[in-house]
Amino acid sequence: MLAEKVKNLAIIAGDNHGNAIAPVPEHAWLNPHKFTQAEVHQTLNESRCGLLLSAMEGACFSSSEYLLSGIPVVSTPSLGGRDVWYNDYNAIIAEPNPDAVAAAVETFVANPRDPEKIIKMHIEQAEVYRKRFAKVFGDILKRHGDGEVDAHLYFRQNFTPKMRAGMWHDDIVALFKGTKKAS
């Protein structure tokens, strides 16, 4: 309901995982079926910003999907760490009330951000964390007697990204390009 005052609101719903279901504002568009990844990407490419309004959430894949699509994020203050990706250019942290969320969305509609800059910044940040992870993974392998493995290469060859299940795609930017049309 924090998005109830957002104009031209599109909601992409997937599996609910047992969470309580909030009423959908009457003016909102809701996907008519569970979307494929291609349908999610198309809808993201038609958006001006993404909304992340939960107060507590662990790994927030939607946050990276938005940023890799080149769209900024309107978030509310949260626990769980998604704000590690946000800065003054790619996000607005709005107070958790409908007026503040709608005002933040309107800020991005009136002042669009450069999608290429958002994508580039997110990829650079993700690579820092990926390298840290590979180093820790490599240290674990060494401690257990397998010091010959290049942990970064092993990670790249064996990790299956959630957003592109079944393949590693070095040109992630190409996967998320599109034209921004709606909020």
Q: What's residue 70's pLDDT?
A: 93
Tell me the pLDDT tens digit for each residue of 89-110. 999 999 999 999 999 999 999 9
Q: Which residue has the higher pLDDT, 22 or 101?
A: 101
- Strand 29-30 relative to strand 10-11: parallel, antiparallel, unpaired? parallel
State percent of the chain over pLDDT 70: 79
Distance, CA of 174 to CA of 69 (rounded, Å)? 10
Six-digit token string for 132: 């840290």
In the three-class reduction of DSSP (H, G, I as helix; E, B as strand; rest coil), residue 170 is classed as: coil
Tell me the pLDDT tens digit for each residue of 122-157. 999 988 988 888 888 888 888 887 667 787 787 777
Q: What's residue 52's pLDDT?
A: 93
